[in-house]
Amino acid sequence: MRADMDLSETKAYLIERGFTEKVDAAVILGSGLGGFAATVSNAISVPYDEIPGFPEVTVAGHGGDLIQGIVGKKRVLVYSGRFHHYEGHPLDRTVIPVRVAHAFGASSLVVSNAAGSINTRFSVGDLMLIDDFMRVGFKSSTGTQLAGSRYDNRKEIALAHKAGLDLGIQLRQGTYLFVKGPVYETAAEIRAFRYMGADAVGMSTVPELLEAQKLGIKSLGITLITNMSTGVTKAKLEHGEIKEVADSRKDDFGRLVTEILQRI
Ligand code: HPA
């Protein structure tokens, strides 16, 4: 699908499948956090590969579902599974979920991800609110999509901190560094990133947050620290651990996102 293609066909198809025309908010679930989808009530779920205009997913096990339903008192779109740039999707296609959310009138977006911690004060399992980000290693040809140098979500950060306090869930706050991946960083890269002032490193989220801002959608990025980055500890990174950590934090994550959706 072209970046400028309008999404009326996509929206019409989803309405045919039972979606309501207007939602309050959208949620994009990061690696291992797909369990949140099960907490949506009155859910209608459509596999990505059936949705016209959605990017084709070729990597086995990286498909996904778009769910519409109710969380608390809000009608939401929940994206379980995302389109990563490192899988070969051009940046302007990785943001199609945000554009579809906009087409459904969503006024806010919560984007989650799994990331490695650069900050030595953070621990595996911590939840971090993204207050700014860095884009490292992207060619200038992708610059248009990543344009925008002032990302402002101070209000959303403040309300998320209040939600965390009320729920008794400790939250971190920091800078997310977006790398292309898919390879993990070297210890030397992580030392450099720490020196630059980044707190966590991952391979997603920034295009979605920038797209939301462009479309006038309030946004909040939530990072789950699934591992300490390369060289921070002696442990070797294993993909299986991401799932394990995400599972152990899924209840708090779900309560937090649900509460944020009511307040945002
Ligand atoms: N680096 C990059 N992306 C990641 C990591 C990491 O250590 N952990 C989860 N996603």
pLDDT, position 176: 98
Q: Residue 178 Cα, ligand 1 centroid: separation in angstroms?
A: 10
User: CA 41 to CA 44: how far, in whole Å?
Assistant: 9
Protein residue closest via CA to atom 3 of ligand 1: 202
What pLDDT was estimated at residue 150? 86
Residue 124: which of 208, 38, 238, 27 has the closest Cα?
238
Domains and CATH numbers, the chain: 9-263 (3.40.50.1580)
Give the pLDDT means over successive 10-residue stretches in the chain (264 positions).
69 97 97 91 95 77 85 97 88 93 98 97 97 83 71 96 98 97 94 97 96 96 96 79 89 97 96
Candidates 184, 185, 180, 182; CA nearest to 205 is 180
CA-nearest of 20, 175, 171 to 104 is: 20
The pLDDT of residue 149: 77
Q: What integer pLDDT is reported at residue 163 of this predicted model? A: 98
Q: Which residue's CA is minimally distant from atom 9 of ligand 1?
A: 115
- CA-to-CA separations, 248 to 57, 173, 226, 245, in angstroms, rounded: 28, 20, 10, 5
Residue 140 is predicted with a pLDDT of 57
Place of tokens 């207007």: 22
What pLDDT was estimated at residue 61?
53
Pairing of β 218-228 and β 108-117 = parallel
pLDDT for 178: 96
pLDDT at 1 (0 to 100): 45
Tell me which residues have their CB closer than 6 angstroms to ligand 1: 114-116, 184-185, 201-203, 226-227, 229, 237, 242
